[in-house]
Amino acid sequence: MRAWLRCTGRGALKYNRMLMALQFLPAPHIPRAFKTLELRAMTDASRHLVAYISRQWVNGGSFEPRDWSVFRQDVRTNNELQGYHNRRNSKASSGVVSTDWFLTRSSTRIGNCEDAC
């Protein structure tokens, strides 16, 4: 019964959540935690998912764990940038955006970004 729970239903949901939570660990701890989860993959689907994560995200395919670990980071999403784009797009779709407004706001944002980087 316990092995079945790890493969389907709530067990699969919990397993997937643990995979998604790897990003909250310190980067040096991610490979060992991932290896533990990798050994628990019971279905073909979970083994394929783990193989993909290993290839692309953990073992240096496209990214290293240090690239995507958000451990102790204040801003962990791009919501601030999305908010800016949503405000800009809503003004543009309502037809009240002048070219001057757009250029002024965009250059201000770009200048601030360059100062921060």
Q: Please state the domain extents for the chain.
A: 2-68, 79-116
Residue 54 burial by Cβ neighbours in a 10 Å radius (0-12, 13-18, 19+): middle
CA distance 37 to 27: 16
Residue 80 burial by Cβ neighbours in a 10 Å radius (0-12, 13-18, 19+): exposed
Provide the pLDDT for residue 112. Answer: 45
Number of H helices, E strands in the chain: 7, 0
Per-residue pLDDT of the chain (117 residues; tens, 9 = 90+): 344 344 556 778 888 899 999 999 999 999 999 999 999 988 888 899 999 999 999 987 788 999 889 898 876 666 767 777 777 777 766 666 666 655 666 554 444 444 443
